[in-house]
Structure 1
């Protein structure tokens, strides 16, 4: 049995690639993600956040031999828990990491945190569009007037409620499910007259390229929060392609 920590586009791609060769149990944090994992071919899906002890219990119960961590690059705690669980149970850990995109452009500003992003955004005249998810929004609203901030979030009631609770006016809430095209990103930036966007280094699969390309074409500033450094990943196997994962699994199961 292989455990795939999913909830991402890449996680579902991994499941589809391996489903005919291995039994797969997948984990996600939402029911929506669980449905996607199931449709991708997972034999079993658990749709709730799991801490280290939960993962250890699951690994032992399902006799998991390999854990593939395909969680989001910013899901720092999930990755730490996965590594700790693998070390405790002695199974193989594989991290799948989507490639970063590095921009060198005067309108692109890289920062180390969302607090830093908020501080920079506060100095920009005009509206700022937040394209980095509702979970990071509390760090941004500390620095910006709510009427100046436009947010795009997933079209889930909880996400919209969180925005309203933080004081975001309904007219400034865009509830849509992506990934979005460059054309649609441009249309939204123009419609809301955003002078800057805030996003995170989620890679091409996370829509970063389309967001940045759209903003730059409109001469809009881009604030990108860099990926967190996860010290526990040092000396761990990190793959950037499905072929790499298949080669490792072939060695493990031969």
Structure 2
């Protein structure tokens, strides 16, 4: 879908409402849907899959990642009000055996966390190009979807066949653990995709072998209407049924 094709699609199929249930990191898709619905005056609701929570995996309402409770999160990278630059903990200090939440890929790649590490990237093929400059400063491995597009993206980003694996989720804890051990992984990079994205499995496995897990926080988007309650999303859809 594009800015030209989406309005045509909505008109062609007489769409009367849009429920945006795209991936938390699918920023362009959501922004396109929001702008188009506003222009077409079509009701819009964002269903945001719940953030990972160690105490409960229920579908409680979360308005924004930045306003959700972070009592369970460990060191978070923040922006300096004066310089606007990301302020990161000293990567040479002792890294705790617990997940580290960073606010963006930029914060990770502008630091030296990856230097000298055996890094397993489980962030999707679209992000691999970002890591290309790090190919000669760390040993990088990637998990991608079993598709030609994903394979081509990984190769273009400098990944050799022995440093990538194509698997379709969900990935069990046993398989996750086996991959990390096989490649002697010391650091894993993932996205805050919630339980639906198996973030809980990565957190679980990372504790066992002492691997450092780095979690990239969800990008903030100004959704006009948003819920993490599936029943609310269903009621929204049903309200337009005749």
**TM-score computed with the length of structure 2 as normaliser:** 0.77
Name the structure 1 match of 2:194.
203
Distance in 2 between residues matched to 1:201 and 1:191, nearest whole Å: 25
Given that 2:135 and 2:158 are in contact with CA atoms closer than 8 Å, whether structure 1 keeps it comes out as no
- 1:53 is displaced (CA, Å) by 2.5
Q: Any unmatched runs of 5+ in structure 2? A: 54-71, 75-95
2: CA distance, partners of 1:155 / 1:146: 27
1:119-130, aligned counterparts within 5 Å? 119-123=111-115, 125-130=116-121
Question: Which of 212, 221, 228 is the equivalent residue of 1:240?
Answer: 228
Q: Which residue, 62, 76, 79 being the options, matches 2:30?
A: 79
How far apart in 1 are the matches of 2:162 and 2:176? 17
Aligned to 1:182: 173
Whole-angstrom CA distance in 2 between matches of 1:196 and 1:241: 33
Distance of 1:175 and 1:121 partners within structure 2: 25
In 1, Cα distance between the equivalents of 2:42 and 2:33? 11
State the match for 1:163 in structure 2: 154
Shift of 1:179: 1.5
Q: How many residues align?
A: 201
Larger strand proportion of the pair = 1
Taking structure 1 as the reference length, the TM-score comes to 0.73
Question: C-alpha distance in 2, partners of 1:172/1:147?
Answer: 12
More RCO (CA 8 Å, sep 6+): 2
| Alpha-carbon separation, structure 2, partners of 1:54 and 1:146 | 42
Question: Quick check: 1:121–1:196 contact (8 Å CA) kept in 2?
Answer: no
Check whether the contact 2:141–2:163 (CA below 8 A) recurs between aligned residues: yes
1:109 correspondence with 2:100? yes
Name the structure where helix makes up a greater proportion of residues.
Answer: 1
Residue aligned with 1:117, SS = helix
1:69 aligned to 6, 9, 20, which one?
Answer: 20
Query: 3-state SS of the aligned residue for 1:52?
Result: coil
Indicate the RMSD between aligned Cα atoms, in angstroms. 1.9
CA displacement at 1:134 relative to structure 2: 1.1
Please state how far the C-alpha of 1:77 moved relative to its aligned partner: 0.9
